[in-house]
Every structure is written in structure tokens, then in C-alpha cells.
Amino acid sequence: MIHLDEHYSTRDGRFSHLFSDKIGLGGEVELLEFAKRIGLKLHWIQFSGSLKVHFDLYGSMIEAAVAAGALQVDRAGYRKIYLKKKQQLAEAQRSTQKKE
């Protein structure tokens, strides 16, 4: 699922992070497909290939993401999702190591 965290205020306005709750390539593909649907440039992606992969959204891009179905979460919700992804990645790595 695609999420949008709380707005952060800067002197240039407000922005939010658009991210997936899935780990790995599946999450990044989901994020890229969603971004494409709402008209983002795919090269705007940040931290590609990591747990922190996201897009920064400003102004009307925030409204477009919400209208397209991004689930809004507060900072605590963002942290909970990030920690869950981190745990899932650690479990996947342990599982891979056991098979070797």
C-alpha cells in the first residue's frame, strides 16, 4: 500500500513523503507505478534500493496522491511502518543465511 506522511513545513511551503509499506523490489515497483499514475517524474525518487525509498511531494502533488488513494499517516504511523519494514528485511536476511 502507498502512504503519505504528515506535512512538513519549510520556508518554501509544505511537503510530504510518498512511500510504500512493502520491502524490497516489490515496494519500489509499487511506488514507481503509483508515482507514474499521478504524474511524478520517476527520476525524482530518493533512496532507491533502500528501506527509505520515497518521493518528496509538494503542494498539488500531495492532493494528487491523496486523490489517487495514498493512505495518510502521522509521524508515529510512518515510524511504525519503517520499523516493520526494517524487521521484515532482517527476517528475510536471516532466512537466506540459514539456507546457505
Helix (H) or strand (E) segment spanning residue 71: strand 71-73
Helix (H) or strand (E) segment spanning residue 13: strand 13-20
Condensed to tens digits (0 to 9), the pLDDT of residues 83-94 reads: 999 998 888 888
Specify the pLDDT at position 100: 61
Q: Residue ranges of the domains in the chain?
A: 2-75+83-99
Half-sphere exposure of 63 (CA within 13 A, CB side): 2
Predicted model pTM: 0.86
Condensed to tens digits (0 to 9), the pLDDT of residues 46-64 reads: 999 999 999 999 989 999 9
Would the pLDDT of 80 be above 90?
A: yes
b/e burial code for range 46-70 (CB count within 10 A of at least 16 → b): eeeeebebbbebeeebbebbeeeeb
